[in-house]
Chains A and B, each alone.
Chain A
């Protein structure tokens, strides 16, 4: 197992376009999280899945954002009608138990031009 994988590593898109990111968690982890990090800030929580169920969403996650985790495996995060303010690093993490902490992926850097 190579850890948490995220694809793509970088994405440049024009304002108004839709983008989709993928996260493959550690296979035995049932918990999956998305965070967003802007320059000079710590990551901020966006949403959380346990298996295929999306159990919590931050108020940061506007109606232009949607996340899925079909069959409790990989997850996708889609942003519709991107805005310049969406430019950030999108980080995915997984965990098997809160007792063992979180493992983060390398992130997807989104730039909206």
Chain B
């Protein structure tokens, strides 16, 4: 059974700093991995999708990497801003139409 872990559960950093969020998964036979952002009481906004054959994806200040063999993904946020404060979730697809989510990292950017 696929299990997804996100550490740390919460992170606070001063505005302007670069930061890395971590995601690990137990079964390396994944189809793809998706990072989402969730604001309090809201739905999920897709940030980046990495296919199993890819090593990284970039969108603006965000960069996600994937190391399938070690069961790890990271989300790098450059030059953090207060508007980046949210919970970040990673989700793994094994191609069976079900996403397995981690419990998320709650990020607070301190102005």
When the two chains form their complex, are residues A43 and B44 in contact, meaning their CB atoms are under 8 A apart?
A: yes
Q: What DSSP secondary structure best describes chain A's contact surface?
A: strand
Interface 0/1 of A40-59, CB less than 8 Å to B: 11111100101000011000
Given contacts A42-B4, A42-B89, contact A102 B99 (CB under 8 A): yes
For the complex, give the distance between the alpha carbons of A91 and B42 in Å. Answer: 10
When the two chains form their complex, are residues A98 and B101 in contact, meaning their CB atoms are under 8 A apart?
A: no
Binds A, one of B28-36, B62-70, B71-79: B28-36
Given contacts A100-B49, A104-B43, A106-B42, contact A41 B103 (CB under 8 A): yes
A: number of interface residues (CB 8 Å): 28
* Contact residues of A between 87 and 101, Cβ < 8 Å to B: 89, 91, 93, 98-101
B binding-site residues for A, Cβ under 8 Å: 4, 31-32, 34, 36, 41-46, 49, 51, 89, 91, 93, 95, 97-104
A binding-site residues for B, Cβ under 8 Å: 6, 31, 33, 35, 40-45, 48, 50, 55-56, 89, 91, 93, 98-107, 109
